[in-house]
Structures are given as structure tokens and as C-alpha cells.
């Protein structure tokens, strides 16, 4: 699995196909492997599925003493990946927390994202208390 340095951590990523880029962002307590079948279908349909392990999950790294994250931190990692791989503009597809990351990526970096597809976005992430709740989820 290739990796690249993004904002102080190594992000592991994979791809299928060679057409227009679709960035696949996994949910919490998962890894990029959750997108294997989707990435295969994207390639069959003529697209390029890019799927990566988010910071702290799967084969991607994490900073020392890493116990919390934010949607913003995760979307900035996604932006760094899109820019490093020269993918823009992408269609960003996210599941659960990955949906919030995809949406935030489009809001923060509109030039990198053509469209987003949101699968079960947790509206909890919109609450001010979400960082503490997401951190507790990560520790569990």
C-alpha cells in the first residue's frame, strides 16, 4: 500500500482505475478496505477510486499521544492527499464520519471537490460537543 506524508503523518492509500477521481472516505472504527468493492466498481465504470486510511486508522500513522481528532483535521488530511496526488477536482464520497469529512472538504476547499456523496452522515458532528464525543469514540 503506497503512503505519503501529509501534515505530519503517513497516510496510506490505494487506487483502482484511471478515469475521473472519486475519493472514498471511511467511517470510524474501519479502514480503507471497507471501500474495496466500491473502488472496483468505480474502476469498472471508467473512474478512478482513491481510498485511504484516515489518520490513526488502518495502516496510516498518527502523532505521538494521539487521542482525539476533529472533522477539520481529517478534512485537511484529505485535502493534502488530493493535492499531493494531483486529483482535483474529485467527487468525495464519505460514510458516517467520512461523510462529514467529505462535506467539510468541499466547504474548506471548494476547488478540490466537484461534488459530495454522503452516506449516513452523523449530524452529531455538527454539535459543539462533538469533539469530546468523537474522542471518546476513538478511545473506545
What's the CA gap between 37 and 42, in Å, rounded? 9
CA atoms within 13 A on the CB side of 123: 0
What's the CA gap between 80 and 74, in Å, rounded? 10
Q: pTM here?
A: 0.87
Q: What is the pLDDT of residues 66-125, one digit of tens each?
A: 878 889 999 999 999 999 999 999 999 999 999 999 999 999 999 999 999 999 998 766
Q: What is the tally of helices (H) and strands (E) in the chain? A: 4, 6
CB 42 within 8 A of CB 49: yes
Task: Say which residue the cell 471497507 belongs to.
Answer: 34
Q: What is the pLDDT of residues 46-62, one digit of tens each?
A: 999 999 999 999 999 98
What's the CA gap between 70 and 40, in Å, rounded? 29
What's the CA gap between 94 and 78, in Å, rounded? 11
Amino acid at each position: 500500500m503506497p503512503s505519503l506524508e501529509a501534515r505530519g503523518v503517513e497516510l496510506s492509500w490505494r487506487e483502482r482505475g484511471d478515469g475521473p477521481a472519486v475519493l472514498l472516505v471511511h467511517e470510524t472504527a474501519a479502514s480503507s478496505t471497507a471501500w474495496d468493492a466500491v473502488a472496483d466498481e468505480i474502476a469498472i465504470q471508467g473512474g478512478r477510486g482513491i481510498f485511504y486510511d484516515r489518520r490513526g486508522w488502518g495502516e496510516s500513522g498518527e502523532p505521538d499521544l494521539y487521542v482525539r481528532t476533529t472533522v477539520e483535521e481529517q478534512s485537511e488530511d484529505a485535502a493534502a492527499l488530493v493535492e499531493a496526488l494531483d486529483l482535483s477536482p474529485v467527487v468525495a464520497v464519505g460514510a458516517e464520519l467520512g461523510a462529514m469529512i467529505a462535506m467539510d472538504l468541499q466547504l474548506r476547499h471548494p476547488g478540490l471537490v466537484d461534488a459530495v456523496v454522503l452516506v449516513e452522515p452523523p449530524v452529531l458532528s455538527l454539535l459543539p460537543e462533538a469533539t469530546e464525543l468523537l474522542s471518546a469514540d476513538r478511545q473506545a
